[in-house]
């Protein structure tokens, strides 16, 4: 794999929490790579481990969880225990979350929160930082930046707060921006504005983006490549058009057909997935999706399938389509059941 071109590489990441039963592994063997300027979507339901994967990259795993295996490489070098997170957090890798009200300091004026970043990380003078902050706020579409800088986060609307969070996140031109459900709390029209803005700002700075969402429509419309997570594992990955147009994993297929659409035929009933997703990662043993899977057979309950390349092995790794399912490539799977 060409590591030099990738901004971030996550290899065999496993995150575990102490558990009474099972392994407690909420992220299992997750590997991913994001190139400069690339937009990758991480999609999954609650408890799938998508947010913890992002937090592991930021080294913000809440106690008592810990990374039990794997490595995170930034520009090919490990973000090991030796490099203090303050050296790269916020400057090289920035993050925005679902509700900026929880990431912005409620007692500090917007202006101070932005200039703080610029003065501390980019060593700008007071006046210079103020000018740059104004420019940043204007570039994220805040109508009256000077006035907004004197206000507190709580008086802004959700959309405006997310714009401020985005302005702070890009203030140091990070190589990677992690956006964890950035539009989930917003109205659909404001969501479209923020996504368009996110796209423009990251393209201008050449930042790579890891967009985390439960909404296949959001990641599908925004990302070049998708990773689908289920119970802590990546079960499918590939270019957006392939994953959505020709999903290989039964979970991805079921998920796509269970979403109502604005266009096309109107079904009488939605295809639905029986049961509910497991919480607290896999229970050990077989494929975590097996209890809900229409294709599951004995082997699925025994062994966890490996993530395999579906497309021709000659294609470049970045574009490869992978899925973890025993039924893949077995044309007689259904008959033999």
Partner 1 sequence: MMTDPAHVHSIADQPTAAAPPVVDVRDLRVHFKVHRGLLGSQLVKAVDGVSFAIAAGETLGLAGESGSGKSTVARTLVRINRPTEGSILLSGAETARLSGQDLRAYRRRMQMVYQDPYDSLDPKMTIKDAIGEGLTVRGVPRARRKSEVEELLARVNLPVALAGRYPGQLSGGQRQRVSIARALAVSPEVIVCDEAVAALDVSIRAQVLNLLKDIQADARVSYLFISHDLSTLRFMADRIAIMYVGRLVEYGTSEQVFSEPAHPYTQALMAAVPDIASLGGPRPAPLPGEPPNPASPPAGCAFHPRCPLAVELCRTVAPPLVRKATGQLAACHVVPDAPEVA
Q: Which residues bind partner 1 (CB under 8 A)?
A: 45-46, 157-160, 187-193, 195-196, 214-218, 220-222, 240-241, 244-245, 254-256, 258-264, 266-267, 269-274, 276-277, 279, 292
Q: Which is nearer to partner 1, 127 or 262 (CB)?
A: 262
Q: Which is nearer to partner 1, 1 or 259 (CB)?
A: 259
Task: Write phi, then psi, for 155 (nearest 5 degrees).
Answer: -85, -5
Q: Which is nearer to partner 1, 70 or 158 (CB)?
A: 158
Strand-pairing partners, residue 323, are: 236, 308
Give the β-pairing of 77-78 and 66-74.
Answer: antiparallel
CB of 46 to partner 1, least distance (A): 6
CB of 279 to partner 1, least distance (A): 8
Sign of CA dihedral 135, 139, 145, 151: negative
- CA 192 vs CA 118, 187, 218: distances in Å: 28, 9, 9
CB of 284 to partner 1, least distance (A): 20
CB of 142 to partner 1, least distance (A): 12
Q: Which is nearer to partner 1, 18 or 264 (CB)?
A: 264
Task: Choose among 14, 58, 156: nearest CA to 99.
Answer: 156
- Please count the other Cβ atoms lying within 10 Å of the Cβ belonging to residue 275: 10
CA separation for the pair 57, 54 (Å, rounded): 5
Q: Which is nearer to partner 1, 126 or 147 (CB)?
A: 147
Q: Which is nearer to partner 1, 90 or 220 (CB)?
A: 220
CB of 66 to partner 1, least distance (A): 26
- Please count the other Cβ atoms lying within 10 Å of the Cβ belonging to residue 98: 20
CB of 90 to partner 1, least distance (A): 28
- For the residues of 84-125, what is the DSSP string, one character each? -GGGTBTTTEEEE-S-HHHHS-TTS-HHHHHHHHHHHHH---
Q: Which is nearer to partner 1, 62 or 143 (CB)?
A: 143
Task: Choose among 203, 28, 13: nearest CA to 195.
Answer: 203
CB of 24 to partner 1, least distance (A): 19
CB of 146 to partner 1, least distance (A): 20
Q: Which is nearer to partner 1, 64 or 274 (CB)?
A: 274
CA separation for the pair 171, 133 (Å, rounded): 8
Q: Are 321 and 311 in contact (CB under 8 A)?
A: yes
């Amino acid at each position: 794999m060409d590591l030099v071109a990738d901004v971030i590489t996550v290899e065999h990441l496993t995150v575990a929490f102490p558990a009474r039963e099972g392994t407690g592994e909420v992220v299992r063997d997750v590997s991913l790579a994001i190139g400069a300027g690339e937009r990758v979507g991480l999609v999954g339901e609650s408890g799938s481990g998508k947010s913890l994967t992002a937090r592991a990259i930021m080294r913000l795993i809440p106690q008592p969880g810990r990374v039990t295996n794997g490595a995170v490489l930034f520009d090919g070098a490990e973000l090991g225990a030796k490099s203090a997170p303050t050296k790269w957090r916020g400057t090289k890798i920035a993050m925005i979350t679902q509700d900026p009200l929880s990431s912005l300091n409620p007692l500090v004026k917007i202006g101070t929160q932005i200039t703080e970043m610029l003065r501390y990380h980019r060593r700008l003078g007071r006046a210079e930082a103020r000018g740059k902050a104004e420019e940043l706020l204007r570039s994220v579409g805040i109508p009256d930046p000077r006035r907004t800088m004197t206000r507190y986060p709580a008086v802004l609307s959700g959309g405006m707060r997310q714009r401020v969070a985005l302005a702070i996140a890009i203030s140091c031109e990070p190589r990677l921006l992690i956006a964890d459900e950035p539009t989930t709390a917003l109205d659909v029209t404001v969501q479209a504005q923020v996504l368009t803005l996110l796209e423009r700002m990251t393209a201008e700075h050449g930042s790579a983006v890891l967009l985390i969402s439960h909404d296949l429509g959001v990641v599908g419309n925004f990302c070049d490549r998708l990773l689908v997570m289920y119970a802590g594992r990546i079960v499918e990955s590939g270019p957006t058009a392939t994953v959505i147009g020709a999903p290989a994993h039964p979970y991805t297929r079921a998920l796509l057909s269970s979403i109502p659409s604005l266009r096309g035929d109107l079904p009488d009933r939605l295809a639905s997935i029986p049961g509910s997703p497991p919480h607290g990662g896999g229970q050990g043993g077989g494929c975590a999706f097996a209890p809900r899977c229409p294709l599951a057979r004995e082997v699925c309950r025994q062994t966890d399938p490996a993530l395999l390349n579906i497309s021709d092995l000659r294609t470049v790794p970045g574009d490869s389509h992978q899925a973890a399912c025993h039924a893949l490539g077995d044309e007689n799977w259904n008959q033999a059941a």
